[in-house]
A and B are shown apart, each in its own frame.
Chain A
């Protein structure tokens, strides 16, 4: 039907299947500036009315590091072979925190923006994406601290640091996929609000963040190879202090799967979007 239609440039068509009809390019171009505006709002609001303000974004991971680190090194006597425990564990916590924070804050983001999305049309992925963007700001800060810590404990950064780029891409795509999907589903069914915290705890245990991947028994190695976060964490360690490239083959496979998932989630999200405001 679109072929025969005469649609002027400034004409907006709202149809049952897609809500506001728009081309992918147009949608993307309107998403960007809105994403920036909404992220700016999130960043502004985040620590208002709190005493420690941005101290919280470091205090949380530092507390995890201190408690788990103490239990694992002093109580369980785990010693990574390749670096002091602080560098080792921090290299795991930094990417994991990015994912965990994006997902746990993003899962309810569309639902919480209910007053906006039931009045103004905005591409709804703006809300989870802005949570990811906000965590991304934290990620950059924490990454800087990681590089400093590794420099002090292991040695200056090498060219292998560039390995962080492919690792970061895989981490970003996965985080976007999972956060956007979770936020979209939560609009219709609130179960994920409860499931996500639980899932994060499980994921934290099965991912070699606080313990070395080399401790994982051979018959359980698939756990580390299939888990994108484990691949990312290992990739960060290789790039930051092991002076070696990440396992590119494994990373490539995860990249392909991530992109496919991104495609599926995009299509599903676009289909569900026209009905979202009826549920918030």
Chain B
């Protein structure tokens, strides 16, 4: 008998043996999509394990296999005890049912239909902070409210294994804090947690260990910090946030009184620069400012001759995670200057907490000016 086919040893909560998942796409472009590729993984009882990796690396599929929602194409998954997937927005809910009815229904589905007591449902609602809306159909709920409800149901079930797929980041800050506290509380009572997230600081903060998935393969398993370091060290593909356009009308700035800033995050692995294109006809000064308005870097005043964009490059995106703003200061015709709105952007997946390590500089690509 193959050793792999043995049951779970004591204290093991989840074990994957050579799990592969291929989505065949006959009728589409004909190629199969390999979501998981021979994944071996063992999670001990009472652990919080972070699952990280780029989009499409198979993180959610991994959770689905563990939940038993989809069968692996090869290999076997085993788990012990009852599982509670923290559901994505709107799951299991019917828009015409009230918050209370939905919570009760979700409970029934998770607990194999033991009908929840009114007390239990009240607890869930209170945790979700939805007391005032509980008798309205969830049709009227915001996505944040729905997510809070679903999260709340899962963390109040008696499951011994919690599967969380990026749900924690949906609620407001207050709710996120309560959610984290609740997960810790459950965990200290022995609940095992598998946490899929792009929020790397959450992983370092909460997880005992982490798994890095890349293109369906386990690239690294280990303590959370080293896995994240290895993940962050990889050349990142920054997703295109789309052009963000800022138009401000003020007299005296330029003949048409407008300044436009485009922000494009170029795609492609290895590319780590951000370009801002702006159009102005007045001399301008740009500053990159962190949310707490501490200046990260700034350019000297740029004289623009005529119309046209200036390419603006951050040589690397080694910024700590957070929200940043790009400010523009434009000289008035009479020599004064006025601060111009801001282009906010978020840096989502970068080194957390390495404030000293900011190799960013702003530089202006003059060629772009001259070319236009």
CB pairs A–B below 8 angstroms (17 shown): A1-B5, A4-B5, A7-B7, A12-B68, A13-B78, A14-B66, A15-B72, A20-B68, A33-B114, A34-B108, A37-B113, A41-B101, A116-B91, A116-B109, A118-B69, A119-B69, A278-B70
Would you call A120 and B115 a contact (CB within 8 A)? no
Would you call B71 and A19 a contact (CB within 8 A)? yes
The answer to whether residues A14 and B76 also contact, given A7-B7, A119-B69, A277-B69 and a CB cut-off of 8 A, is yes
Complex interface: chain A residues within 8 A of B113 (CB): 30, 32-34, 36-37
- Choose one: A6, A8, A11, A37; the contact of B109 (CB below 8 Å): A37
The answer to whether residues A5 and B64 also contact, given A120-B69, A122-B109, A278-B23 and a CB cut-off of 8 A, is no
Min CB distance A3 to B, Å, is 9
A6→B109 CA distance, assembly (Å)? 29
Complex interface: chain B residues within 8 A of A16 (CB): 71-76
- Choose one: A14, A33, A119; the contact of B71 (CB below 8 Å): A14
Would you call A33 and B1 a contact (CB within 8 A)? no
A117 CB–B CB distance under 8 Å: yes
- Choose one: B76, B85, B108, B115; the contact of A15 (CB below 8 Å): B76
- How many residues on A have C-beta within 8 angstroms of the other chain's C-beta atoms? 40
Min CB distance A118 to B, Å, is 6
Please name the 9 residue pairs, one residue from A and one from B, whose CB atoms are nearest each other, closest first: A274-B71, A33-B113, A37-B108, A19-B71, A121-B68, A20-B68, A14-B77, A6-B7, A48-B96
Would you call A6 and B64 a contact (CB within 8 A)? no
Complex interface: chain B residues within 8 A of A34 (CB): 108-109, 112-113
- How many residues on B have C-beta within 8 angstroms of the other chain's C-beta atoms? 45
Would you call A120 and B109 a contact (CB within 8 A)? yes
Closest to B110 in A: A120
B97 CB–A CB distance under 8 Å: yes
Would you call B70 and A119 a contact (CB within 8 A)? no
Complex interface: chain B residues within 8 A of A23 (CB): none
Closest to B23 in A: A278
B79 CB–A CB distance under 8 Å: yes
Complex interface: chain A residues within 8 A of B85 (CB): 119-120
Would you call B67 and A121 a contact (CB within 8 A)? yes
A12-B83, A14-B71, A116-B92 known; 9 other A-B pairs, CB under 8 Å? Answer: A6-B7, A15-B72, A16-B72, A30-B113, A34-B112, A36-B113, A37-B115, A45-B94, A119-B67
